[in-house]
Structure 1
Amino acid sequence: MTSYRFTTLALAAALALAAQSPALAQDKPVNLKLSSWVPAQHPLNPSLQAWADDIKKASNGSITATLFPSEQLGKAFDHYDMARDGIADFAYVNPGYQPGRFPIMAGSSLPFLFSNGKEGSAAIDAWYRPYAAKEMKDVKYCFAFVHDPGTFHARKKILLPTDIKGMKIRPATSTIGQMVTSLGGTNVQASAPESRDMLERGVADAITFPWGSISLFGIDKVVNFHMDVPLYVTNFVWAMNQGKYDSMSAAQKKVIDDHCTSEWAQKVAAPWADFEFAGRAKIAALPGHEVYKLTPEQLDAWRKAVAPGEAQWAEGVKKVGQDPKAVMDSLKASLAKYKSAL
């Protein structure tokens, strides 16, 4: 009798618990296509896989994912539209690949703002989140992040802004591209996977790139001089197809929402930030390469030379009905809060 009562009570408790919790295990299975255009061996890919694995765990296995690296689902330039159109369910977007399309986000790639990529990723996400609903309304915004600061890597030594005149440079973002143009250089557009070929063929003389990726993409074979200054960061967005999100159950949507946060932005970006930071020492140790610092006077000349870029960016922000001062002030406040301001 006691055994029967115990079994009955245990069953009743289990049923009560089941009624209180979302029935994730009974939700319709969802498999997400994740698109990443960087090579399979890039440190971002394991981070994205770990993010997806945590979603699988949190959804009791009802949400699984398949990661497609190396532009398997489409070109790097097309990833925002791939998320919008459902070619990918999640896509790794470089907003700077489409100049003028995301004017607010472009402010984060202005020179001399970020000191690091780890806390900087939480900072950019916290800042951009309120703006994303309007600027990236075609997709469901998940989070934004940055790589560790990049700089000029070139066939010749670049010390002063005047050295840019007459050079052909592959810029990381449209904002850096505007800086190059203003200094008398010529922009050569190429995605990261295409960049080595452009430099090797002499179509470009220099590139703005983070440190670790220089070796990863083989660019260390074609450039020798590296300016040791945190010049800029590239912003990225992890974007979701809105229709795929809408098709999920309420419990599954909550799992996605819980993984689209500033904390997750930093978690995903941190291993990549470490990789890029470590690249500086590796390049410095390579025979025939020179990593050089700028004098205070040279650095001051750069800061003055790039200042007009912010005014140019501000005009683009005004055109979409935003106050550029308020936008930039909020970015700088977020960088200060997350201890990632330069």
Structure 2
Amino acid sequence: MTNSMKPGPVKPGMTRRTVLAGMGAALATPAFLTRANAAEVTLRLHSMLPAPAPMNTQFFEPWIEEIRTASEGAINIELYPSMQLGGKPGQLPDQVRQGICDISWTLPVYSPDRFPVAETLALPFMVTNAEKTSIVMHKLMDEFGQGEYPGTKTLAFHTHDGGKFHTREGLIQTAADLKGQKLRAPNQAVGKMLDMMGVETVFFPVTEMVVGLSNGVIDGCCLPYEVVPAFKLQELTKFTSAPAPAARGLYANTFSLIMNQRAYDGLSDDLRKVIDDASGMALSQRIGRQFDAFEQKGKEAVIAQGNTIGEISAEEVASWRAMAEPVYAEWTQKLNDRGLDGAAILARANALLDAGQQT
């Protein structure tokens, strides 16, 4: 017991028993009620996107504040956008595991084949909308992907809404329109499907895409609307092609929000509860819902620019899905090679997507 905890002089009307009883009550007070405003722990959150991106301003910043408030100021999270802590987007999972940062938002497709269950929903036509597909991803990871992120505490899994084609010259509405196009593919699996359709595909992180469009390395890209304003893609492209509402989306990249396991374990019980309460399925669904809202804002930017928007019919999308069967077969084998049941994982993903589409 420090000197500050020793009983002071007994005032008139007080006994030693009442003084000690008061001390006992103080010692029993919940930690949050006695905390000062100074943070007990500071965590570093590394983001690949530029500071103005909606994911930073409309999700991470409010989420950080919610955690600070819930912990009574004990947890402070510092946001580092634009890869300010160094490295490349594909290195973020290792940065979290190694403790270079404490939390990050990662894309499994930037580390191809390393997180196969988390990457499964990035196959072509495995998306309805962001909220429903994020719920599907979280369930799929709970059921099949528990061991994919060793050394980390997984906080949420989600997807964006279905991608669209954004091109400089002409709408894409049929497979014939794709032949000879030079497009930035969003991931390995979608790139293989596009290759089969006569596209010259290249792949690089979204953060490098503006240069590719500006210097003519690519004719267009396949991305959701939500990323358009952050990179001013509405100014670099003139045409957008989207699947009909009745069809599955072209693709959705998947995301994992992860935290260094040692950083999580080092928190007190009550602070770990704050992190637990701010993560999980509810957070996955919330991020997905937020991405659906981002999608609408991005579409509004394309419309305001005066760009042309065309529709890819449900029948055309169905024919593309049939064309992609070899991609699904190859992915099933990859999952099998990792000791997983590839057919069961794909069947479960499709069943969840179909069930979600009906709600």
Q: What TM-score do the two structures reach when normalised by structure 1?
A: 0.87
Distance 2:260 2:280 in 1: 17
Partner of residue 224 from structure 1, selected from 238, 241, 248: 238
Q: Percent identity, aligned pairs only?
A: 29
Alignment of 1:90-239 (within 5 A): 90-155=103-168, 156-229=170-243, 230-239=249-258
Pair 1:69-2:81 in alignment: yes
Separation in 2, partners of 1:73, 1:171: 27
SS at match of 1:66: strand
Instruction: Return the offset for 1:80.
Output: 1.3
Aligned pairs for 1:273-288 within 5 A: 273-287=292-306
Distance 1:60 1:203, change over 3 A: same
Secondary structure, aligned partner of 1:232? coil
Q: Which residue of 1 aligns with 2:283?
A: 264
Equivalent residues in 2 for 1:244-323, closer than 5 Å: 244-287=263-306, 289-323=307-341
Assess if the C-alpha contact under 8 Å between 2:180 and 2:200 holds in 1.
yes
**Structure 2 Cα separation of the partners of residues 341 and 306 of structure 1:** 24
Deviation sequence 1:217-257 (CA, Å, 0-9, x none) = 12222222211213111111111112212222232222222
1:228 is paired with a residue of what secondary structure? strand
Contact 1:133 1:141 in 2 (8 A): no
Matched length = 337
Aligned-partner residue type, residue 80 of structure 2: F
2:105–2:257 Cα contact (<8 Å) kept: yes
| Cα distance, 1:238–1:154 mapped onto 2, change above 3 Å | same
Once superposed, what is the RMSD of the aligned Cα atoms?
3.0
**Distance in 2 between residues matched to 1:248 and 1:234, nearest whole Å:** 32
Q: 1:195 and 1:106 mapped to 2: Cα distance? A: 21
- Contact persistence 2:163–2:222 (CA under 8 A): yes
SS state at 2:312 partner: coil
Stretches of structure 1 lacking an aligned partner (at least 5 in a row): none
Query: What TM-score does the superposition give when structure 2 sets the normalisation length?
Result: 0.83
8 Å contact kept, 1:113–1:341: no
Unaligned runs of 5+ in 2: 1-12, 244-248
Q: Distance in 2 between matches of 1:249 and 1:329?
A: 41
The superposition leaves residues 55-85 of structure 1 with CA deviations (integer Å, 9 ceiling, x where unpaired) of 2222232211111112212322221121122
Structure 1 SS opposite 2:147? helix
Query: Using the alignment, how far apart are the partners of 1:333 and 1:15 within structure 2?
Result: 55
Contact 2:235 2:305 in 1 (8 A): no
Shift of the alpha carbon at 1:103?
A: 1.7
Task: Report the counterpart of residue 34 of structure 1 in structure 2.
Answer: 45
Q: Taking CA–CA contacts closer than 8 Å with sequence separation of 6 or more, which of the two structures ends up with the larger relative contact order?
A: 1
- Deviation of 1:314 after TM superposition, in Å, equals 0.8
Partners of 1:219 and 1:114 in 2: CA distance: 23
Instruction: Give the 3-state SS of the residue equivalent to 2:198 in structure 1.
Output: coil
Q: Cα–Cα, structure 1 residues 128 and 39, in superposed 2: closer, same or farther, change >3 Å?
A: same
C-alpha distance 132-295 of structure 1, shift in aligned 2 (>3 A)? closer
* C-alpha deviation, 1:100, in angstroms: 1.6
> 2-side partners of 1:224 and 1:276: how far apart?
18
Shifted more, 173-182 versus 79-88: the winner is: 173-182
Larger radius of gyration: 2
Distance 1:103 1:184 in 2: 26
1:54 matched to 2:66? The reply is: yes
Q: Measure the CA separation in 2 of the matches of 1:258 and 1:130.
A: 21
Counterpart amino acid of residue 310 in structure 1: Y
Q: What is the aligned partner in structure 2 of residue 45 from structure 1?
A: 56
Q: 1:270 to 1:13 in 2, by over 3 A?
A: farther
Give the equivalent residue in structure 2 for 1:88: 101
Q: Secondary structure at the match of 1:140?
A: strand
